[in-house]
Amino acid sequence: MLRDTEDREIIDERSILDYVHKYYADLYSQPTVSFAEIREQDAALNFVNHRVTEDDNHRLTEVPRAEELSNTVKSLPLEKSPGEDGLPVEVLRELWEEIGTGCLQFIQEAWKSKRIGKYNSGAVIKLIPKNTRKEDLKNEEQTRFI
């Protein structure tokens, strides 16, 4: 159960999903930027000397290799919450010899086709309450002035 901004209960699954989607879409949407702000940003970017070279671009867009994937798995932090699949990094590392080739094939195919499939593009939202109103998505810690 969640509560909306007007403190009404939202209990059915579809309404909860719609409310969560709207909340985060609004939260992460681009604010309106004035023409003056755009000019200021452009002027600031003129001071940036780094550009992506042809060589950089080639390395950034080439299909991932087995060594890169293996190094990435080895560099993942341990003792963290597992993803949607429920597998912690420790299991992934332990079984890497058995599953690494399949993972690499999946990633390379997705890279080449630029598609990962609907079952691999989802997200999990976990609410971590910061105050006693667990049903409030905003759930910011309240600042108390004494």
Ranges of each domain in the chain: 1-50, 63-139
Provide the residue-wise pLDDT of the chain in tens; the chain has 146 residues.
Answer: 888 888 899 999 999 999 989 988 888 887 788 889 889 988 898 888 878 889 999 988 999 999 999 999 999 999 887 777 788 999 999 999 999 999 999 999 999 998 887 777 777 767 677 777 778 877 665 444 44
Q: Provide the b/e sequence for 31-60 (b: ≥16 CB within 10 Å).
A: eeeeeeeeeeeeeeeeeeeeeeeeeeeeee
